Chain A
């Protein structure tokens, strides 16, 4: 005998639930809104300087606010060159540290090493800049002088290291940037290296390889692509770094030169240094620099992430 009775199963509390859903969707959409606004407002403000300069903005070497002439080439060069120097210095060191921490170090040493790397990552960039300009610049100039004398007469090296050594120069900026991006590259390199299948490593050892040979045979092939990605991520970070570079790069405009010891300027550095006394057109020009920097770093970061992602998936055995 089936009895029926009045059962009310209609909903209550649905409104609060729906409100919450819209709240979280809105919060997520905020990311898109902000990025969109950044793109729109910044490109809008760039207008004036591009009306005036056209593509010469990117190709001209002269940056002269007083003459209302803005050629950004020296800063593009400065950003690129300092980042390159930073990579040349940081990459071998980062890879070496990453390999040591993952392959050589016992768990007891590993912990304090990672501690050191973490502490390095926590120090604000302005503190590195401060140290660079007040502590490093002087002594490093002496070092430069020695190198300068040493390369006297040697063709290629002379063009790089042969100029009058300055404490605040591309080279010093490169050194400071290298110190700052090392923790990042190291951390990412560690992750990539750790996806090496243990079976490959064991195979190498079983054939009588030394540790270094095992690294070459098992770790390197698997990590190659990912390490490239890690490097590019470091590159992106080095290019975007403003403050430390601004303090030690020398703030000198107009130099597009291989001379690493010369003072120069980079896109973020010139913005930081010249903003205070800029008029509207000057500001528009600097916003133009900012947008250029934005686009370049985004592209580099995206390519890097894609490479790292793909390499880690392959390392885990996924197609």
Chain B
């Protein structure tokens, strides 16, 4: 039996207003993506075109020389700022990651259902929303006012920002560890702490590491918390606890509004350095998740 007459034409796609609207909307959605990709490209372009020249000119001067005290003076470097960023971020990591992991262990392994755990979990969420400038001022009041500017102050402020992020990410990872592993360990006579430290945490480790790295990348780029705690040194200061220090983000902020071209150039170089640093850390974090972590 042959098909009804005209079926082929009936079923063919027709140019209608509905079809056109669909196409327009699809184009608009794609356009939205293009719109948001443009600033990314523009920023990266500026970073590379303006920053690379400064940062890699006479390599490795920019990364090792001290910051010119007179900002009008042209030339490198940002060495002290790089050291400062490493000190502050490294210090913050050493404080926030162990404490955050331990806190998350409490929330997932000991606290399930308890009211205290629910309050802590809620407050950790609140803490992630605290503006970074508030944390900076807080550490100013608690530490800088008493002990002066130092890299440690910066590390404290960054640690306050990192802590809730590490807690949330770690708790998620611990939750993914299947319960039968805990049972197997308990059945072999391991105490709870032993089970957690030798079975649960190792199983969740890649995810925990990746979460911590993302928190580190975030902290490295922060400016506001450091403005009030670290100071504005121009020379190298490897001491964690004494005397003002500086950091890449602080330098960028300070130099951005400078009227001197030389200072602005250094700002671009510092910006490129900072972006490279955060990108690398983020990439490592994604690789770790992709290849090793427990899947949802």
Contacts and interface: CB of A to CB of B under 8 A. Distances in A.
Q: Do chains A and B touch in the complex (CB under 8 A)?
A: yes
A301 interface: yes
A88 interface: no
A123 interface: yes
A272 B47 contact: no
B191 A16 contact: yes
Contacts of B133: 240, 242, 268, 271-272, 290, 293
A24 B40 contact: no
A293 to B, nearest CB: 6
A316 B150 CA distance: 49
A126 B253 contact: yes
Interface in A100-134: 100-101, 104, 113, 116-120, 122-131, 133-134
B294 to A, nearest CB: 19
Contacts of B194: 13, 17
Contacts of B284: none
A240 B278 CA distance: 21
B42 A293 contact: no
A98 to B, nearest CB: 9
B54 interface: no
A231 interface: no
Interface string B208-241: 0000000001001111100110000000000000
Contact of A28 (B25, B107, B274): B107
A203 interface: no
Interface string B268-281: 10010011001100
Contacts of A100: 26, 29-30, 32-33
A291 B105 CA distance: 31
A240 B222 CA distance: 13
Could you say which of B111, B217, B228, B253 has the most chain A C-beta atoms within 10 Å of its C-beta?
A: B253
A113 to B, nearest CB: 6
B141 interface: yes
B99 A242 contact: no
A116 to B, nearest CB: 5
Contacts of B275: 123-124, 127
A83 to B, nearest CB: 12
A126 B253 CA distance: 6
Given A41-B141, A96-B31, A301 B126 contact: yes
B264 A134 contact: yes
Interface string B244-268: 0000010011001100000010011
A21 B29 contact: no
Contact of A268 (B111, B131, B142, B264): B131
Interface string B142-184: 1000000000000000001001100100000000000000000
B29 A134 contact: no
Interface stretch (A29-37, A54-62, A146-154): A29-37
A30 B162 CA distance: 13
Interface in B122-141: 123-127, 129-135, 137-138, 141
B142 A305 contact: no
A100 B25 CA distance: 10
Nearest to B141: A41
A213 interface: yes
Nearest to B130: A294
Contacts of B99: 27, 30
A272 to B, nearest CB: 6
B252 A127 contact: yes
Given A116-B37, A271-B137, A34 B160 contact: yes
Could you say which of A27, A130, A131 has the most chain B C-beta atoms within 10 Å of its C-beta?
A: A130
Contact of A24 (B18, B103, B282): B103
B26 A32 contact: no
A7 interface: no
Interface in A75-103: 92-97, 99-101
Minimum-distance CB pairs A-B, first 3: A124-B221, A96-B32, A240-B131
17 contacts: A16-B191, A28-B111, A31-B120, A31-B123, A31-B127, A116-B33, A116-B40, A122-B279, A126-B253, A130-B271, A133-B256, A240-B130, A242-B223, A243-B253, A286-B137, A290-B134, A297-B129
Given A42-B141, A130-B267, 16 more contacts: A97-B29, A116-B33, A116-B40, A119-B40, A122-B221, A126-B223, A134-B46, A134-B264, A135-B42, A212-B25, A272-B133, A287-B141, A290-B133, A293-B131, A293-B133, A298-B129
Interface of B: 18-19, 21-22, 25-26, 28-33, 35-37, 39-40, 42-43, 46-47, 99-100, 102-103, 105-107, 109-111, 116-117, 119-120, 123-127, 129-135, 137-138, 141-142, 160, 163-164, 167, 191-194, 196-197, 217, 220-224, 227-228, 249, 252-253, 256-257, 264, 267-268, 271, 274-275, 278-279, 282, 286
Interface of A: 13-14, 16-17, 20-21, 23-32, 34-35, 37-38, 41-42, 45, 92-97, 99-101, 104, 113, 116-120, 122-131, 133-135, 179, 182, 186, 210-213, 236, 239-243, 246-247, 268, 271-272, 275, 286-287, 290-291, 293-294, 297-298, 301-302, 305
